[in-house]
Amino acid sequence: MDPRPCPRELGVRLSKAKTSGRTSRRVRVVALSIGGVIVLAGGAYLAGYFLVGDNLPANTVVEGVKVGGLSRDQAVAKLESELAATTDPQLTLTADDVSVTQAASAWGLTPDYEGSVDAAQPSRSLDPTRIWYALTGGGSFELLAKADEPTLDTTVAAFAAKADRDAADATITYKDATPAVTNGRSAVSVDTAETKTALADAYLQTTSVTAAATVTEPDVTTAEAQETLTSFAEPAVSGNITVTVSGRKLTITPAQIASATGFSAQDSALVGKVDYTALLKALQSQISELGLAKAQDASFTFSSGKPVVVPSKDGVELTADALSKAVDPVVTASGSARTATAQVTGKKADLTTEEAQNLGIKEITGEFTTYFPGQSYRFTNIGLAAKGINGSLVLQGETWSLNDTLGERTTAKGYVPGSYIAGSTLREVVGGGISQSATTTYNAIFFAGLKDVEHHPHSLYFSRYPVAREATVSWGSLDLKFQNDSKYGVLMQAYISRLSDGSGSITVRVWSTKTYDVKATDAVKGGYSYGTTRYDTSSNCVGQSATPGFTATYKRLFYQSGNLVKSESFTWTYDAGDRVICGSPPKS
């Protein structure tokens, strides 16, 4: 409220004039009287006008500091001297649960000494209110603030960036089968313009300012989450649930329930839900001990060298849906009520006998044989690889991997150390030599016309393999993969043979329905390079002869009804192989 007094209003009421002469004289007398009052008032106004000087009225006080009778400059100086220590207070700005405290000057607010003195000083003015205020001695005023607009804009914007946020629903999580509520968080949107005004108005009036902000509660509040904690989350893990399946029992522990349970917002409430597919997976070790008849897919075996279908078998299973129907009604029950009975359902084989018979596995579409020296490790490692490959069924669209099929080659699986190319040098590793299996398989699927997904020729050339049309593998890095991109199923057949001279061979056949007649062009070689002779003192050294390096190119040609329908080009460059002598060089 303005402390200066307001001028009184001078009201004049005139009655209606009568036509008689007496009345007219009375009116003239009244008029003369009023005129006299106006003259007197005007004189008083002029006197007051000249009495008001340039100094502040005698009783003027600004923010508790007496400045009456001082000139403008003197008053400003006195205010600065006496108020400097108290005019930069700490101001705390708060929006919901975010607060920032800093000096008023840091916010961009400083005292306006000049403006405060000007507000208290009437000076000479034609305004009768101001003259009256001066003549009555002045009054008390608050110290005004002035804002550094760029600083205030920046600091309030920085606060808004910190305070503004989206709402976050309250939720529940389990830790060690114990549920706990994560509190919800309101959305906050700060109105920077109104907040700047609130800060300026609060200057020297208070130390705490509430920002002008819109605060919106989350869809799920902490209180609502607490209700779900009490009604669902805690009862769900209050004890074991016993489920009877085909006369035998499964035990579901609180930890298993907790790991399979999640919470989500639905219609502004937090709803707990058990993922019964996940729970069923967690119970598999117990389910496998129930003795339920398992469905068995149709498969293939070889009889007299030809594929024969092994019929499928149907079985029974406990499904996630059946588990849900049994457990869901008792998941929040307590004590002895936490029991249920689940029904098993029939389970058909994923690949039935009829489906297997209709895969079109009836003829050899690709076949290849390679030969290897008669070392014992080769028969062992290549034989294990052939056994693993044999019987592989690759359905339409599937991709087959040699590494996935055989797994890591370890001594536990029967593999033994053998030669392996590391860079351009032979080394001994467990499982060495099975690249013979990879090369043979690659050529079989090559001539079957199947899609080459991944293969890696050796870095050194070996004369027992087709030039550049060969493959090596290494666990965890190099693989052999192909995709069955035909309309038919693919069955792999692989076996080894011991020849009369003591050497061995491996044969891989692809059984399916022929789509293409596939041929390979002869490899064109060029760009030869040659290595050197060197000595190797390492413990796993394998001696080797020198082999030339070169680049080879060839094509895979696809024919249908005698016509070439497509072709694929392949290029590979072999490294030059050094002659390696195990041991130290002779002394000269």
Are the C-beta atoms of residues 117 and 79 closer than 8 Å to each other? Answer: yes
Q: Where are the alpha helices (DSSP H) in 407-520?
A: 435-447
Q: Which domains does the chain have, with CATH numbers?
A: 223-356 (3.10.20), 359-582 (no CATH)
| CA 201 from centre of chain | 44
The residues facing 303 across adjacent strands are 306
The residues facing 184 across adjacent strands are none
Return the HEC string of 252-283. Answer: ECHHHHHHHEEEEEECCEEEEEECHHHHHHHC
Question: What count of other Cβ atoms lies within 10 Å of the Cβ of residue 46?
Answer: 11
Check residue 414 and give left, alpha or beta (phi > 0: left; psi -120 to 50: alpha).
Answer: left
399-401 sheet: strands from edge to edge = 399-401, 481-483, 451-454
pLDDT of residue 577: 83
Task: Tell me how far apart the 2 most distant CA atoms of the chain are, in Å.
Answer: 165
pLDDT of residue 279: 97
The Cα 105–Cα 383 span in angstroms is: 85
Degrees, nearest 5: CA angle 301-304-307: 35
The Cα 497–Cα 371 span in angstroms is: 9
Rg value, the chain, Cα: 49
From residue 302, give the alpha-carbon distance in Å to each of 341, 370, 437, 511: 44, 21, 19, 11
Are the C-beta atoms of residues 494 and 508 closer than 8 Å to each other? Answer: yes
Structure tokens belonging to residue 229: 């904690």
Mean pLDDT for each consecutive 10-residue tract of the chain (588 residues)? 34 32 38 47 50 77 92 92 89 94 94 89 63 74 89 95 95 96 95 94 90 94 96 97 95 97 93 97 95 94 95 96 97 95 95 96 97 94 97 97 96 89 68 92 98 94 90 93 98 97 96 97 94 84 84 97 96 90 84
